[in-house]
Amino acid sequence: MRTPQSELRKDRLAAAVIRTSGVSVIVVVLAIVVSIAAQALPLFRPATVGPVVEIADAEPIAIGTTRPSGTVWWLESSGRLATARGDRVLRSDPISAGAVVLAADTGADGALSMLTADRRLMVRRVSVVSGRAGVDSEPGFRIDELATVPAAELPVDAIGCTAAADPYGDLAAAVWNPEEVRLWLWRSGLRRGDAVRLATGSVAQVAVSDSLALIAVVDADGGVFLYRVPDLEPVGVETDLESVTDVSFLAGGRSLAVAGDDGAVAVLIETPRAEVINRRTAPLELDSVVVEPGARAIVPDTEALAAWARRTDVDVRRVDPVWRTVHRFAPRTGAPTALVSAPRGRTFAVGDSTGRVALYNATSGRILVDREWSTAPVTALALAWRGDRTAAAAGGRLLQRSVDARHPEISLRTLFFPVWYEGYAEPRSIWQTSGGADDYQPKFGLMPLLVGTVKATLYAMLISVPLALLAALYVSQLAPDWLQSIVKPAVEMMAAVPTVVVGFLAALWLAPRLELWLFPVLAAAAAVLPAIFVALGVWRLLPHGFRRRAPEGAELAALVACLVVVCGGAFVAAGWLEARLFGGGFPQALFDLFGIQYEQRNGLVIGIALGFAVIPVIFTIAEDACSSVPSSQVLAARALGASRWQAAVRLVAPAAAPGMAAAVMLGLGRALGETMIVLMAAGNTPILDLSAFNGMRTMSAAIAFEMPEAAVGGSLFRVLFFAGFLLFVLCLVFTTVAELVGRRLRKRYVRL
């Protein structure tokens, strides 16, 4: 019998629609992956610079940029101040009537310090207001007077000056000659401060941090010395640079860029230290330091030391920090002649005697760009507030270059490997993207998020996989029909429960009760497996005739009754034992004895809540796989004398293993991508710890929590997209593996 042509056309049309739909789904998925990757790709784009543009034919002694427009201004030795936009000079005016400048320096927050020929110290701030200067119609700049120190108060034969201002109106200025440094402070808006004489001898260079808390002094022998302001107490410095010629504090004042006359460039940061007293009877090993019993030592305040500080037999006390070299870059071909730091961020620029200018980033520890600007030595540098422009003075000319380095602190190394951040005694992987100050150093380590994702998934799978697979095997092969009609729809209905409800209950109901009953719950959980083996063993020891006469499901009822009795007894006994041994506080005993901090929202809570959400996925697929095993094989096994348990465990489970593996893979992908449960009940603490007693932050939770506050196109915005790309790839890999296993399973069933 021939098939009508109309039916054949319908079949071809249906096949084309199905084929087109499948291809469309693949295309859409790939488009999503590509769009997410496109948002993250600029993170790894190398920095580029534009062509050199000559602004003016002048030899400035100081260069600066206004905030936030980035307009370049410069000061000439004649005392004239000029500003430009692009390659056009806007205006040129004298900074002060009849003032000839001998030395000048640009400091933090736009502070311009000048040492004039009549031996005065003048501190000014240059700004551009709407492109207009006062009531003049010409665009230009405004000069704000910050401070003036008369010649009588300055050191004799002063050769240099510097100043820094902070956002709160405080000001610090320093003037030096080869034998001494004098420091002036203006606090709380006062127009004059007290001069402090810092005698060092052989002073060559001085820098003041923008926090006004530290002053750095370089002597003629190339040594670097730090002093705390205003008490001028010395601060420890450890550097392996042989001869330093220039220094500059980076934004925030907790990092110091140094350049040596041999072309070396390095970054020093403030690292905390602590005094340790070992009251143990055994030696205490802390990295490379061994503290003998009863002895004390000064050691870096590392994470390992923080763990020991929780012990009662080790005393830890914070002491003054030390500045240590954390990055040392390859030596330059020419001697560094100019060093300047960016107004914000941790980028700084170095110019050398060969006319090259290089941009460095202290967080990522890499050279962003290194280009030739001129054949003459670079004498002065300035970086724009937004980091998109660099100005340099070389060969009697003022030059400018655009810079495209939008994410200088991001690289694969900073995302996935430890980074030595300010205020830490060792490299760490940290996720902490915002702080309470403009000069905060963001930390974009993805490893805490990856570990948090793995941790949440691991504990969820440990709870859900055994329960779901055993339940699927029992319901499909052993449970009576009336129980199947109840259990299977009930478990499948669990998938309809909104995850936000699960997260809400886990955070506000489960977490407090688990903290209150932690020890009894752990004791009851530990008693489950032995109770199952004991109950099944006792059931097998019962007479065969009794077991045959027992109704279907009797073994389950006996097992459940045994579990209830054993777990209830363990729960009650553990509560009594906890009150006797730990004074009723097992979480506090964990901290006192082992230094383990118990947090209310932790891995156990996430394991239970996320496991509840994953169980329906695994159970449904695994039950279908077990039910798909041909009943003829099961009946043949029963005819050969196998019991229902033996047939289920030794025949059905191996035959359904590929389907069960696919179910576990899909459940794993479901747990990896879960957001609301971990967002509400995980504590949102991005830490590198697999302990079940503290919280975590997953990649999905970080995206949901921080994306609304991320500036479009900023570093955080693109790092979150990169985290989403990684999460998408992980889920795609597990889903693909599940599909391949399922396809293999289907082929095997066809053969059967």
Domain of 112, CATH number, reads: 2.130.10.10
Count of domains for the chain: 3
| Residue 533 within a domain | yes
Which residues are CB-neighbours of 530 under 8 A, at least 6 positions away?
A: 566
Mean pLDDT for all residues in the chain = 82
Judge residue 14's burial from the number of C-beta atoms within 10 Å of its C-beta, 0-12 exposed, 13-18 middle, 19 or more buried: exposed
Are 451 and 441 contained in the same domain?
no
**What pTM did the predictor assign?**
0.85
Q: Structure tokens of 65?
A: 């940029």
| pLDDT > 70 in the chain, percent | 91
- Note the pLDDT of residue 559: 77
DSSP string for residues in 91-133: EEEESSTT--EEEEEE-GGGEEEEEETTS-EEEEEEE-BTTB-
Q: Structure tokens of 630?
A: 């041909």
* pLDDT tens digits, one per residue of 695-752: 889 998 899 888 888 888 888 999 999 999 998 888 878 777 777 776 776 666 545 4
- Note the pLDDT of residue 436: 64
Judge residue 381's burial from the number of C-beta atoms within 10 Å of its C-beta, 0-12 exposed, 13-18 middle, 19 or more buried: buried
Are 132 and 118 contained in the same domain?
yes
Pairing outcome for strands 314-329 and 233-238: parallel
- Note the pLDDT of residue 742: 67
Are 229 and 290 contained in the same domain?
no
**CB 522, CB 573: distance < 8 Å:** no
| Residue 14 within a domain | no
Are 231 and 268 contained in the same domain?
no
- Note the pLDDT of residue 72: 82
Are 280 and 376 contained in the same domain?
yes
Among 445, 477, 512, the domain boundary falls at 445
Among 420, 445, 470, the domain boundary falls at 445
Which residue range is the domain that position 291 belongs to? 47-56+262-445
- Note the pLDDT of residue 86: 62
- Note the pLDDT of residue 415: 92
Q: Is the peptide bond before 51 cis (omega within 30 degrees of 0)?
A: no
Are 130 and 83 contained in the same domain?
yes
Are 346 and 224 contained in the same domain?
no
- Note the pLDDT of residue 131: 47
Are 499 and 408 contained in the same domain?
no
Are 588 and 687 contained in the same domain?
yes
User: In angstroms, rounded to a whole number, what is the distance separating the alpha carbons of residues 407 and 388?
Assistant: 11
Q: Is 642 left (phi over 0), alpha (psi -120 to 50) or beta?
A: beta
Are 402 and 463 contained in the same domain?
no
Which residues does the chain have with pLDDT short of 70? 1-3, 85-92, 96-98, 128-141, 188-201, 312, 436-438, 547, 552-553, 584, 595, 742, 745-752
Beta bridge partners of 258: 247, 266
* CATH code: domain of residue 560: 1.10.3720
Are 490 and 433 contained in the same domain?
no
For 624, phi and psi rounded to 5 degrees?
-65, -40
**CB 400, CB 248: distance < 8 Å:** no
* Closest to 350 in 3D by CA, of 371, 364, 365, 326: 371
